[in-house]
Structure 1
Amino acid sequence: MEPLASRMRPKNFDEVYGQDHLLSKHGVLTKMIEKKKYLSFILYGPPGTGKTTIAKLFSDKSMLDTYFFNASTDNKAKLKDILDMTAYHDVLIIVDEIHRMKTDIQDYLLPFLESGKAIMIGLTTLNPYQSINMAIRSRCHLYEIKALSDKDIEAAILNAIQYLDHDIHLTDDALAAIIRASNSEIRSALNLLESASLVVDDGQKITSNIIRKLAGKPQLSLDDHENHYFEMLSALQKSIRGSDVDASIHYLARLLTLGDLEIIFRRLIVIAYEDIGLANPTMGQKVLAAIQAAKMTGLPEARIPLSVIVVDMALSPKSNTAYSALDKAMEDFQNGLAGPIPKHIDNKYIKQHPDSYKYPHNDPGSLNSQTHLPDNLLDKTYYVPKDESAYEKALKDRLKLIDSIKGYKRKG
């Protein structure tokens, strides 16, 4: 017998919950269908929010010849077979897990997207700005599929009751329990509702006790690629950055419950250098030591060194001055703000004019007045130190001395 979740799969855009920004009367996907103007786009958002459903509905309404391609398992030969059909008519390709698409497959697909002979709908749980190659991303419109609210889940449950095989009554407490256990996924909520309907007789009530027994442990996603996992990692970083030690421990607990240590390790290393940086430069070494201890002990003991280092990081002074300086320099270069390397530090020129380069180690304090930025950038300031920690205050004092010798007038 067809499961309830399958029977409840939307047949029209207005039956999809929580995505009115795309599917309402004035939504962009609705307008594409109305005007028969089909653009390639990527749908990204948490699992269970309707990405695949929306793609299939779009396919049905567009009447385009549609093919499905899984970037994790399908190969270039299959894509070539699909794209060969563009010799006869335009095609729609629904690409699941588009963030896993290999470079050679992307390169083969790009000309077809550019010509419009192939329309693509990409599906991913990841943030496309971080996970999808820019070549593909720049040729697609990016549409976020929003996490479902409790009201969305409630509406779906109440609508589904009439499709059950026998008459049941759902108490308010039971409704709330299903919503809590659903992990914001309509499919999970409907599966739990259907299970509950099997353990009560016709006309009986489904209570919260029944739901709790059926639900067991609250649903926790173990997929480290899902969007809400990255949201928790981000929450951990923001808590440490904000020096909120209790919140930092809270999000560490949630992440450890999901069980993937490697992704926690990587994020802690990033935090050590992005948010603590020069305010406490030994933190990077301490984080690596804690990670090594966690790897040697494994779970559940790994939580012990990780708890110590997270508390230390949360309470540490913070500075982002180093990487902020680099980001500003990279932005200038990418915007064309650069210049020739000064001759006195250009090896080719130095070979012809050895006296042009002043070797700092020959000068008192290993300092001299020679500058090294391109001439058109001599008034630029990238690094602006803080003096909120003893270490960076010492760097600031040293920088003042250096600037005075070189004649720099530092901004900020």
Structure 2
Amino acid sequence: MAFKTPLADKIRPQELDQVVGQPELLKPGQPLRQIIDQHVNIPLLLWGPPGTGKTTLAKIIAKQYNYPFESFNASTDNKAKLTEQINLHPYDSFVLLIDEIHRMTKTLQDFLLPYLENGHIMLIGSTTENPIMSIVPAIRSRSQIFEFKSLSESDIIIMLQRAVDEVYQLDKEQIEPEALKLIAISADGDLRIGLNTLETLHAIEPNKLTVDNVKKFAQQQHFNYDKKATKHYDYLAAYSDSMAGSDTDAALYYLTILLKNDDLPSVVRRLREIPYTYIGLANPQQVTQIVVAANQAEKVGMPKAKYPLMFATMLMCISPKSGSFDEAWELLDEDTKHPNEHPMPRGLRDMHYKHSEEITGGGLIDSPFQSPKQIAKQNYMPKGLEGKRYYYPKDNANEKKLGDQYLKLHKYIYEQDYKK
């Protein structure tokens, strides 16, 4: 008995002009589109949420370049399979799609590098993780990186309508108004979810598609969120806001929902970022502990990852908070809009080129390491901003201590208090 071809494969675009979404990448004249149109053989790293067209684009590139296509999963496949794929094409360049490339071992990456260098393999790496954070420099430095965005509801509706017309051949009388729109909303930017939902509903009721059936089915899927189905981002926001608000129980509840719905990567990303935003100088040691726990969770994966993530979440909630970085940034953002209006002291300019001292005065500033207490009493601020203050410590024990030192250093360097 032959396997049934999924709807997502039946309706998969075969040409660039059939692809929906990603206009900032694939419209004529855009960098990625130019690479494809000119058949440039260069490794590509495509990152973004699932169901946004990364695999589809890799297959279209292979077709347009007239290259053989091979697929490799970095989570489950091994060196033997990679070697076999290379040996299948001993004299020809071919497209190699590596899914979940952020999980590729260093050994495999090293093995792959010579084939990337000589153009034998046109690598297309697909990942939901930011390559800047998750791909080792050896691969990253040889690749062009492009970010894929979640699809809009209108993008998904186009593909759903195409499936209804070309695969299921339903007419307008068999489809209730708004039914496709509700499927697109519940897909939340992931075309694969939308097509899978349509496929299931058609299997249940082949001759009609009703709003009521879509609602009943959608309520049993994903997170059981509200009709608008901004589920993924709503729960992430609730998780972050609960930690900012120091509500441990609420944060653990939202964490559990996210993990039960396989969103470990988003949780890890949040826990790498928000400790610096919400805690910062109020408790630097716990910031480090939280980030270490998040990294450990990523290494061990689910289900064991829940323990370091619960640990990190509780530390986030229980720790004293500080919003001093955001406040400082607002002040800095305003003063740096027109940096040419505030020239820096000449002595701070670069001195690592010939005649820099004569041209700009670079390097003529006093060395702090040859001064008493290794602190030079001289102006570092740009013209017009002398004595400007950006950091205002919050009311917690650690920042009070750091704040006192901050004020003492300013007074020592400039021999006066901050301007009022």
TM-score, normalising length from structure 1? 0.66
Where does residue 195 of structure 2 map in the other structure?
A: 190
Q: Which residue of 2 aligns with 1:278?
A: 281
In the alignment, is the contact (CA less than 8 A) between 2:393 and 2:403 conserved in 1? yes
What's the TM-score, normalizing by structure 2?
Answer: 0.65
- Contact residue 153 and residue 184 of structure 2 kept, 8 A: yes
Question: 1:258 is matched by which residue type in structure 2?
Answer: L
How far residue 254 of structure 1 moved from its aligned partner, in angstroms, is 4.4
CA distance in structure 2 between the partners assigned to 1:286 and 1:111 by the alignment? 39
Q: How does 1:280-295 map onto structure 2 within 5 Å?
A: none
1:319 equivalenced with 2:324 (yes/no): yes
Partners of 1:411 and 1:20 lie apart in 2 by 50
2:72 maps to which residue? 69
Which one-letter code corresponds to 2:18 in the other structure? E
Cα deviation 1:81-140 (Å, max 9, x = unaligned): 545678633333221111011112222322332333332111111111111112211110
Q: Work out the CA distance in 2 between the residues paired with 1:179 and 1:49.
A: 13
- Helix, strand or coil for the counterpart of 1:206? coil
- 8 Å contact kept, 1:371–1:406: no
Instruction: Give distance in 2, aligned partners of 1:22 and 1:281.
Output: 40
Q: 1:271 Cα deviation (Å)?
A: 3.6
Aligned counterpart for 1:174 among listed residues 171, 179, 182: 179
Quick one: which amino acid aligns to residue 387 of structure 1? Answer: P
SS at match of 1:371: helix
AA at the equivalent of 1:371? K
Distance in 2 of aligned mates of 1:402 and 1:317: 21
Query: Contact conserved, 1:276 with 1:318, CA < 8 A, in 2?
Result: yes
State which of 387, 393, 396 in structure 1 corresponds to 2:403: 396
Distance 2:289 2:100 in 1: 36
Match of 1:371 in 2: 373
Asked if the contact 2:62–2:94 (Cα under 8 Å) also holds between the matched residues in 1, the reply is: no
1:370–1:406: 8 Å Cα contact kept in structure 2? no
Q: Supply the distance in 2 between the matched residues of 1:109 and 1:50 (Cα, whole angstroms).
A: 24
Q: Is the 8 A contact 2:239 2:254 kept in 1?
A: no
Could you tell me which residue of structure 2 aligns to residue 358 of structure 1?
A: none
1:387 aligns with 2:393: yes
Q: How does 1:100-249 map to 2 (within 5 A)?
A: 100-165=103-168, 167=170, 169-200=174-205, 202=207, 205-220=208-223, 237=240, 239=241, 245=245
Does the 8 A contact of 1:280 with 1:318 survive in 2? no
CA–CA separation in structure 2 for the residues paired with 1:129 and 1:187: 26
Question: Per the alignment, in what secondary structure is the counterpart of residue 259 of structure 1?
Answer: helix
CA pair 386-45 structure 1, distance change in 2 beyond 3 A: same
CA RMSD between the two structures: 5.0
SS of alignment partner, residue 178 of structure 2? helix
The alignment of Structure 1 onto Structure 2 pairs a total of residues equal to: 350
1:257 aligned partner, one-letter code: I
SS at match of 2:373: coil
Q: Where does residue 256 of structure 1 map in the other structure?
A: 256
**Larger Rg over CA atoms:** 1
Q: Is the 8 A contact 1:177 1:208 kept in 2?
A: yes
What's the offset of the Cα at 1:404? 5.9
C-alpha change, 1:276 and 1:100, in structure 2 (3 Å) is: same
CA distance in 1, matches of 2:72, 2:290: 41
Distance in 1, matches of 2:278 and 2:258, equals: 25
Mark the CA change 1:343 to 1:308 in structure 2 (over 3 Å): closer, same or farther.
closer
Structure 1 CA distance for aligned equivalents of residues 204 and 164 of structure 2? 15
Give the Cα separation in 2 of the matches to 1:8 and 1:285: 47
**8 Å contact from structure 2 (residues 290, 315) kept in 1:** no
Structure 1 residues not aligned, in runs of 5+: 222-227, 292-297, 325-331, 345-368
Determine if contact 1:93/1:119 at 8 Å carries over to the other structure: yes
Offset at residue 200 of structure 1 (A): 3.7
In the other structure, the counterpart of 1:352 is none
